[in-house]
């Protein structure tokens, strides 16, 4: 829906508070598998080194190549940059961003704020700062290089594990082409986050294994269920409390949830399990969030095609359409938590039973009014009733139940702007007026996707998820 940070593991404030968990970790680590962490003994071991040294880069590439059973790709260059320069690289300079584009973006932000996905009066400049602040490094698949931010506070060890993470992306790119992979699979907001979960999940898997090895441990000594459970709880807490859940979605979701999805497969099945997670990738955040629960809804997980002929309501002529996108379970959950009366087990389960959605944004110039309309399709009517009851208590939210059972949420507009009789536009018709804001003009770095890392402090979590085995 908005510009997307590329791919990077979470750490620092993105990692869960784990130091207090040691007393809870007195059970054996789940599962008896150990992936293939013994597959590359001897010289093929991790060892902290200076990432500005080409020999260090080659060492990481060779160790990863052995662990991942792929070509080492040791010639990936490293470029160093500052955070200020990074912002210009990702968003473009003011010379190539028009006033109209900034105005369009700010109006879209105002509409999104009606659903508490952004704060009121949020602006493009603030988004630049918020977005850039999360990035410590990234892999650029166009230039085929790793870019590292020099004014971060990473230690030499953190920088080394950052390199491990980014080198996974370089090897992924060499194997199947990250840009091609994204074009094939990440063509909506929901699918983009799900694809990120797969891509980042593999990078997180090998990052964590490097952390474990540097600690002198094996993967079998860690209670990974506790590790991921607490990390994920932290990400869910931030998503419900932050005033920029939209901006942070690609920071909070892919690493903790995709990390478990891929790591679990590695732990039980080795490299073969990782391959299954990536080809094909998951199609929705709903699918990733359900991992590894056995009582989750059954596939098909993503039924966006059911709404292709109902992309947006026909609005009065004075309204200009700003864009549309399929958002998915992660952002719907954040919205319901922030806008609803409460968010308990019933609300959580109801959100998980939403199988399709589409969010459209609209603007009326004479009244300077930004409106957001979110259409939700449920697996059953009881789930719809739970969400409707939770949201109807918010004074600025209108709800409409359509024939067929879909729930429509209208935020920011006058009463009765959309009702049961309002016609809806199909995708082809909507394209004459709408722009898919999952790929807006100010999507960062529209000339190239990058795959990023934000630093590594997971070793603290690993230490406190440690289960000493005899």
pLDDT, position 385:
95
pLDDT, position 444:
34
pLDDT, position 88:
74
Joined together, the tokens standing for residue 142 give 């166009």
pTM check: above 0.75: yes
> What are the sequence ranges of the domains in the chain?
12-285+443-464, 304-430
From first to last of the 470 residues of the chain, give the pLDDT tens digit: 332 333 343 343 344 332 323 322 333 333 334 555 455 655 578 999 999 999 999 999 999 998 998 877 668 999 999 888 887 777 665 556 778 888 888 999 999 999 999 999 999 888 888 887 878 888 988 889 999 988 777 788 989 999 999 999 999 999 999 988 988 888 888 999 999 999 999 999 999 999 999 988 889 888 999 999 999 999 999 999 999 999 999 889 999 999 999 999 999 888 888 988 888 899 999 999 987 665 555 555 778 888 888 889 999 999 988 888 899 999 999 999 999 888 999 999 999 999 999 999 999 999 999 999 999 999 989 999 999 999 987 767 899 999 889 999 999 989 899 999 999 988 766 655 544 444 333 333 322 344 544 444 444 444 445 554 43
Residues whose CB falls within 8 Å of the CB of residue 241, separated by 6 or more in sequence, listed in order: none
Mean pLDDT of the chain: 80
For β-strands 78-81 and 145-149, DSSP reports them as parallel
Select from 419, 437, 399 the least CA-distant residue to 315.
419
């Amino acid at each position: 829906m908005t510009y997307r940070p590329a791919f990077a593991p979470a750490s620092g404030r993105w990692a869960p508070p784990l130091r207090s968990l040691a007393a809870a970790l007195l059970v054996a680590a789940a599962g008896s598998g150990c992936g293939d962490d013994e597959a590359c003994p001897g010289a093929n071991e991790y060892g902290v080194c200076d990432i500005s040294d080409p020999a260090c880069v080659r060492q990481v590439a060779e160790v990863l190549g052995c662990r991942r059973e792929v070509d080492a790709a040791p010639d990936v260059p490293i470029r160093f940059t500052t955070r200020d320069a990074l912002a210009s690289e990702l968003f473009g300079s003011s010379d190539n961003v028009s006033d109209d584009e900034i105005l369009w973006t700010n109006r879209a932000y105002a509409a999104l704020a009606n659903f508490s996905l952004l704060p009121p009066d949020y602006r493009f400049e603030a988004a630049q700062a918020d977005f850039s602040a999360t990035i410590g490094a990234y892999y650029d698949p166009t230039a085929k290089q790793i870019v590292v931010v020099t004014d971060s506070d990473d230690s030499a060890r953190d920088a080394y594990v950052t390199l491990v993470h980014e080198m996974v992306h370089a090897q992924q790119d060499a194997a199947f082409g990250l840009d091609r992979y994204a074009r094939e699979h990440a063509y909506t907001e929901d699918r983009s986050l799900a694809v990120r979960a797969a891509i980042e999940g593999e990078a997180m898997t090998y990052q964590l294994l490097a952390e474990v090895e540097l600690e002198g441990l094996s993967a079998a000594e860690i209670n990974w269920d506790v590790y991921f459970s607490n990390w994920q709880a932290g990400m869910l807490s931030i998503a419900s409390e932050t005033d920029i859940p939209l901006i942070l979605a690609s920071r909070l979701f892919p690493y903790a949830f995709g990390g478990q999805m891929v790591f679990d497969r590695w732990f039980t099945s080795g490299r073969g399990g990782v391959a299954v997670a990536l080809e094909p990738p998951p199609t929705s955040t709903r699918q990733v969030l359900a991992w590894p629960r056995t009582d989750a809804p059954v596939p098909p997980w993503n039924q966006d095609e059911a709404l292709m002929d109902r992309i947006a309501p026909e609005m009065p002529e004075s309204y200009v359409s700003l864009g549309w996108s399929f958002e998915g379970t992660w952002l719907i959950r954040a919205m319901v938590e922030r806008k609803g009366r409460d968010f308990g087990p019933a609300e959580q389960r109801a959100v998980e039973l939403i199988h399709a959605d589409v969010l459209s944004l609209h603007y009326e110039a004479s009244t300077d009014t930004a409106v957001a309309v979110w259409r939700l399709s449920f697996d059953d009517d009881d789930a719809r009733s739970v969400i409707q009851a939770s949201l109807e208590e918010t004074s600025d939210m209108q709800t409409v139940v359509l024939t067929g059972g879909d729930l429509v949420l209208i935020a920011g507009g006058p009463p009765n702007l959309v009702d049961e009789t309002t016609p809806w536009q199909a995708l082809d018709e909507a394209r004459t007026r709408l722009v898919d804001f999952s790929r807006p003009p100010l999507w960062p770095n529209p000339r190239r996707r990058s795959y990023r890392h934000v630093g590594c402090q997971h070793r603290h979590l690993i230490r406190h998820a440690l289960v000493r085995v005899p």
